[in-house]
Structure 1
Amino acid sequence: MLDPTKPLRLWQRSGEPADGECAPRWMTPRNPRRETRGPELVRISRLLGVEPLPWQRDLFDVAYEIDPQTGGLWYGEIVVLVPRQSGKTTSTLSINTHRASVWPHAQQIVYIAQDGIRTIKKWEEQVLQLQASPFRQLIKPNRIYELEPNRTNGRQHLDFVTGSQWWPDVPSEDAGHGSTNDLGFIDEYWSQVDDRVEKALRPTMITVDDSQLWYLSTVGESKIRSAPLWAKMQAGRNRVESKLESHSLYVEYSAPPDADPMDRLTWWHTMPALGYTQSIRKITDELEQDTSKNHSLFKRSFLNIWPDESTDDWPIPRDAVSACTDPHSTIPEGTSLVWCVDIAPDRSAASIAVAAVRADSIVHLEIVDHGPGTDWVIDGDDRPSSDQLHLHGIKQLTGKWGGRTWFDWQTVGSLAPQFAANGIDAQPLPASEIRVAAPGLYDAILNKQVALLGQSELADALSVAQRRPIGDGWGWARGKSLKEITPLMAVTLAHRALAKDMPDWGYDPLSGIW
């Protein structure tokens, strides 16, 4: 048997530039106050014939942190997004083997991939590697992996002498049913068009205190087709940025949407397996063979960039938005201001935008505040314990700078009494104005008549926003968009309200519509 204390290979990243450190773009940090079983996974991987890559070591250390209260695992949900061929399969095999062999009681493990055929194929690959390792001694005699369904229960699976079982299953609303599961894997989660698999697996694990459900994937073909993955990404990023303690772990290796796919430094910063199991020559070949627009296939596979983030599929062309971006734009003192408050229909977030006309007749549009919930919209949020940036609130903003506030009655009307009670000059924007607000902003951006600051909140909203018809016009579709778009709604309505509140400023967005 191999000595688990000695690595099979000491990884030394070859060809890496001095400033090419590869780090996750988002990752739940290691909590040093909690012990971890991560080193056990390293030893398991070595016995399987694979030396873990540095990123896998980091993942194992965090994912296997121990809850000091229960002695079980701290994290119950683990979402991991890495580029292709970065070691997802070897990570899965190490985790499955560890669970089946060293846990104090028998484990039920279920593995799911894109579809039934791919699930069996990937499962077979892992089983063959398991059989070629010292762990073959733990596979139950006479019932080693069968290519045909097991006669006992009509399903393929692997039995261990520890009593643990490892099953492949098809992605369906019945996935994992029929037993209590301790460990679940949904591989290539981008292929799931809805959350039926997750809803099927979660109830089977609810009675297991240290159960874990893993989601492993690269990004999908589009945020609409892979809506469940996009939702997981947004939730994971928000948790990491807010630094809120959670039992959900999130890891993402990706490049920014505007990263240059031709720049090798981008590769080194994004691809955790480059220089270890991947070579510059092979990655260069992949790039040269990609004939897709803007190298979207290469970006998706190796930089983890969504194709609809790397093209002009925004509802307002990205090039036009970039042309209007002026990070140094300011509002001259004494300029009349128009404010807009917008709230997501589910009350999950709110935004406050301001619009004003600069001396050069360009409209300055800015997201002043964007935050979760609605309790801060009137008076702001300056609680010392808050991890978030200070949120001003419309009362403070208008009290200091003046100006009228506008809002959409359908979503913000419930705050009208509070506006009045706090002396805020606030009016609902008529439906006739809302109907043309989005086309008006679209036209103004195409004609370079606005100045945007390049704020990420607005870019994120534009990247997922969808349209809906409104009579002869159109507007932003809140329900069809993949996340709340309050920053975009606030800016759109503020721009339109400016034309209504200041009819003499010399530009009417309606002029470009009809």
Structure 2
Amino acid sequence: MTISLQDVRLGAQTPRVGRWPEYVSSAASEVIDLAASAGLILDPWQQLVLTHGLGEQADGKWASFKVSCWVPRQNGKGGIIEARELGGLFLFGEQLILHSAHEYKTAQEAFLRIRGLIEQTPDLDKRVNRYWSANGEQGIELKKSAGGGRLRFIARSRGSGRGFSGDLNILDEAQALTAEQMAALLPTMSARPNPQIWFFGTPPDDPAAWAYGLRDDGESGTQRMAHFDWGADLDLTNADDRRRALADVDLWYACNPALGRRIQEEFVTDEAKPSGLGERFPIERLGVWPPRASDGPKVLDLATWETQADAESQVVGDVAFALDITPNRDMASIAMYGLRADGVGHVEVIDQRRGTEWIVERLVQLKERWNPVAIGLDIKGPAGSLLLDLEKAGVILPNDADQPLYGDLAIPTAQEIGAACGQFADAVNQKMLKHIGQDRLTEAIRGAKTRPLGDAWGWGRRISSVDISPLVAATLARWAYETRAHIVTKPYDALANIW
């Protein structure tokens, strides 16, 4: 008995989200036929993306300048890329095609695949002047009689693509794109008569990735943009949605157009098990976008913060310090927290300077002067690199976690960082935190953004619009005080018992 594809359940050939501008014709049929002549037979969903992505206006120009395609791994997005590049080289006369990926190995594999397609097709291969691979870059160049077009494969860096005026840009692994990379790339296309840029990817790990903006444009139906997303519309912070992702087989088929063809259901079943993809299953297999980073004022009221300024505010009694460094290590801050005479908290930035070389010496001075209940340090953040230097200078972890000493380090877990941020915001919003009106701290609050931390949130250093090291240090100083002030002890002094 022969089983045909009609007898096999297949994944959805249309996306959950599909947006494209109107067009009068499409160049896709020629591309699809060309790909077939090279042995690349495209699925209906791949043809759909090409059909709408290659829509043409009445003047012959592309209806879509940007084409964005998001589909889980191993479904066959590479086939769309290869077909589009074959069309660019052999049909459309595009003079420079840039194919970039986040990692060199991905770009290299893409080069080998399309080279194989061309070499096995004599009618195409005879038009090639040369294939090259050198200095971390590969490419294909056609003979001048065949148009002289070039297809280059590169791994992205901040300046990749700068200076190359490409007719077509293929951006694989688009989830890893940065604003800097796009700033280097987009101007190179502005002078081309009919440019086009294609984005392919899976949901990003970074909650502030540039790709979130691309998705927003695509879903809103931005002019001159085609957008396709097979990913499930689930909320990963919702337990019911997480459970549904693991159990809803219909959803699996809706998100994976190649399920039943290239991907087998039993394999996805294995991926859904705890020993498979685990918590990554909704993202990797169902294309669910993780929660996006949000603006700080949504969790911390700036107006309330400003009303809590008191130029005469000061601490009475014990204090705690904490430090933080910006991601690019160009600035660092040390903050202090303690209680006032009325029992209300007081926070203050003690020092903020460029660079990092001054921090250890300054903390040692503050420790000797104030004998703090603790010095807060987030070892998973940029300041974590100073742990060894601090320990060498005598700022150490407690020998006994249950009986920390004055001046010992206090290192939070990821869960405690989330709690510390929430508690800091609560203290401000409930008017239980005073400050002396320092502009650098207020500006940090004004420009701060948040990032998800499981079911909580934390300050997003890399995604905020300003230097938020004063705010991060202040939050950590408050946490260090609240967790240590009631249990800290002074070092035992044997001489104190000598009469």
Q: 2:66 aligns with which of 70, 74, 77?
A: 77
Equivalence map 1:492-503=2 (5 Å): none
1:480 aligns with 2:449: yes
Q: Compared with structure 1, are the counterparts of its residues 139 and 199 closer, same or farther at alpha carbon in structure 2 (3 Å cutoff)?
A: farther
In our comparison, the structure showing a higher alpha carbon Rg is: 2
Q: Compared with structure 1, are the counterparts of its residues 216 and 344 closer, same or farther at alpha carbon in structure 2 (3 Å cutoff)?
A: same
Q: Is the CA contact (8 Å cut-off) linking 1:74 and 1:210 kept in structure 2?
A: no
- Shift in Å, 1:139: 4.2
The CA distance in 1 between the partners of 2:274 and 2:122, in whole Å, is 40
Q: Is the CA contact (8 Å cut-off) linking 2:139 and 2:153 kept in structure 1?
A: yes
Q: Is the CA contact (8 Å cut-off) linking 2:20 and 2:227 kept in structure 1?
A: no
1:146 aligns with 2:136: no
The CA distance in 2 between the partners of 1:41 and 1:206, in whole Å, is 25
- Shift in Å, 1:155: 5.2
Q: Residue 157 of structure 1 aligns to a residue in which SS?
A: strand
- Shift in Å, 1:228: 0.9
Equivalence map 1:122-133=2 (5 Å): 122-133=110-121
Aligned to 2:8: 15
Aligned to 2:247: 262
Q: Is the CA contact (8 Å cut-off) linking 2:31 and 2:86 kept in structure 1?
A: no
Q: Residue 169 of structure 2 aligns to a residue in which SS?
A: strand
Equivalence map 1:183-194=2 (5 Å): 183-192=168-177, 194=178
Corresponding letter in the other structure for 2:51: D
1:1-27, Cα deviation, whole Å (9 max, x unpaired): xxxxxxxxxx9465328xx75531211
Q: Is the CA contact (8 Å cut-off) linking 1:190 and 1:217 kept in structure 2?
A: yes
Aligned to 1:27: 18
Equivalence map 1:51-130=2 (5 Å): 51-68=41-58, 70-103=59-92, 105-130=93-118
Q: Residue 473 of structure 1 aligns to a residue in which SS?
A: helix
1:301 aligns with 2:252: no
1:364-404, Cα deviation, whole Å (9 max, x unpaired): xxxxxxxxxxxxxxxxxxxxxxxxxxxxxxxxxxxxxxxxx
Aligned to 1:283: 268
- Shift in Å, 1:109: 0.5
Corresponding letter in the other structure for 1:296: E
Q: Is the CA contact (8 Å cut-off) linking 1:101 and 1:138 kept in structure 2?
A: no
- Shift in Å, 1:134: 4.0
1:161-212, Cα deviation, whole Å (9 max, x unpaired): 22000111221232123332100011011223x2222221211111113211
Q: Compared with structure 1, are the counterparts of its residues 263 and 248 closer, same or farther at alpha carbon in structure 2 (3 Å cutoff)?
A: same
1:196 aligns with 2:150: no
1:241-272, Cα deviation, whole Å (9 max, x unpaired): xxx6x111111111122243222111111111
Equivalence map 1:161-310=2 (5 Å): 161=143, 162=146, 163-192=148-177, 194-224=178-208, 227-237=209-219, 239-240=220-221, 246-257=223-234, 258=241, 259-288=244-273, 290-291=275-276, 295-306=278-289, 308-309=290-291
Gaps of at least 5 residues in structure 2 are 235-240, 310-419, 430-444, 453-481, 483-499
Q: Compared with structure 1, are the counterparts of its residues 314 and 40 closer, same or farther at alpha carbon in structure 2 (3 Å cutoff)?
A: closer
The CA distance in 2 between the partners of 1:214 and 1:302, in whole Å, is 22
Q: Compared with structure 1, are the counterparts of its residues 290 and 185 closer, same or farther at alpha carbon in structure 2 (3 Å cutoff)?
A: farther
- Higher strand fraction (1 or 2): 2
Q: Compared with structure 1, are the counterparts of its residues 247 and 117 closer, same or farther at alpha carbon in structure 2 (3 Å cutoff)?
A: same
- Compute the RMSD of aligned alpha carbons: 3.8
The CA distance in 1 between the partners of 2:279 and 2:7, in whole Å, is 27
The CA distance in 1 between the partners of 2:7 and 2:260, in whole Å, is 5
Q: Is the CA contact (8 Å cut-off) linking 1:290 and 1:297 kept in structure 2?
A: no
- Shift in Å, 1:471: 7.6
The CA distance in 2 between the partners of 1:467 and 1:132, in whole Å, is 59
Q: Residue 217 of structure 2 aligns to a residue in which SS?
A: helix
The CA distance in 2 between the partners of 1:191 and 1:198, in whole Å, is 11
The CA distance in 2 between the partners of 1:156 and 1:176, in whole Å, is 14
Q: Residue 183 of structure 2 aligns to a residue in which SS?
A: helix
Q: Is the CA contact (8 Å cut-off) linking 1:47 and 1:134 kept in structure 2?
A: no
The CA distance in 2 between the partners of 1:471 and 1:256, in whole Å, is 30
Q: Compared with structure 1, are the counterparts of its residues 252 and 479 closer, same or farther at alpha carbon in structure 2 (3 Å cutoff)?
A: farther
Aligned to 2:469: none
1:459-495, Cα deviation, whole Å (9 max, x unpaired): xxxxxxx958858725798742489xxxxxxxxxxxx
Q: Compared with structure 1, are the counterparts of its residues 478 and 304 closer, same or farther at alpha carbon in structure 2 (3 Å cutoff)?
A: farther
Q: Residue 247 of structure 2 aligns to a residue in which SS?
A: coil
Q: Is the CA contact (8 Å cut-off) linking 1:468 and 1:474 kept in structure 2?
A: no
Q: Is the CA contact (8 Å cut-off) linking 1:30 and 1:61 kept in structure 2?
A: no
Corresponding letter in the other structure for 2:164: S
1:445-469, Cα deviation, whole Å (9 max, x unpaired): xxxxxxxxxxxxxxxxxxxxx9588
Q: Is the CA contact (8 Å cut-off) linking 2:21 and 2:63 kept in structure 1?
A: no
- Shift in Å, 1:216: 0.4
Gaps of at least 5 residues in structure 1 are 1-10, 316-342, 346-350, 352-407, 411-427, 434-465, 484-512
Q: Compared with structure 1, are the counterparts of its residues 275 and 97 closer, same or farther at alpha carbon in structure 2 (3 Å cutoff)?
A: same
- Shift in Å, 1:429: 11
Q: Is the CA contact (8 Å cut-off) linking 1:41 and 1:95 kept in structure 2?
A: yes
- Give the % identical residues: 19
Q: Residue 130 of structure 1 aligns to a residue in which SS?
A: helix
Paired residues, number: 315
The CA distance in 2 between the partners of 1:28 and 1:482, in whole Å, is 29
- Shift in Å, 1:280: 1.5
Q: Compared with structure 1, are the counterparts of its residues 212 and 277 closer, same or farther at alpha carbon in structure 2 (3 Å cutoff)?
A: same
1:85-136, Cα deviation, whole Å (9 max, x unpaired): 1111111111011011112x45100111112343223322332233223454
The CA distance in 2 between the partners of 1:261 and 1:49, in whole Å, is 36
Q: Compared with structure 1, are the counterparts of its residues 432 and 89 closer, same or farther at alpha carbon in structure 2 (3 Å cutoff)?
A: same
Q: Is the CA contact (8 Å cut-off) linking 1:109 and 1:181 kept in structure 2?
A: yes
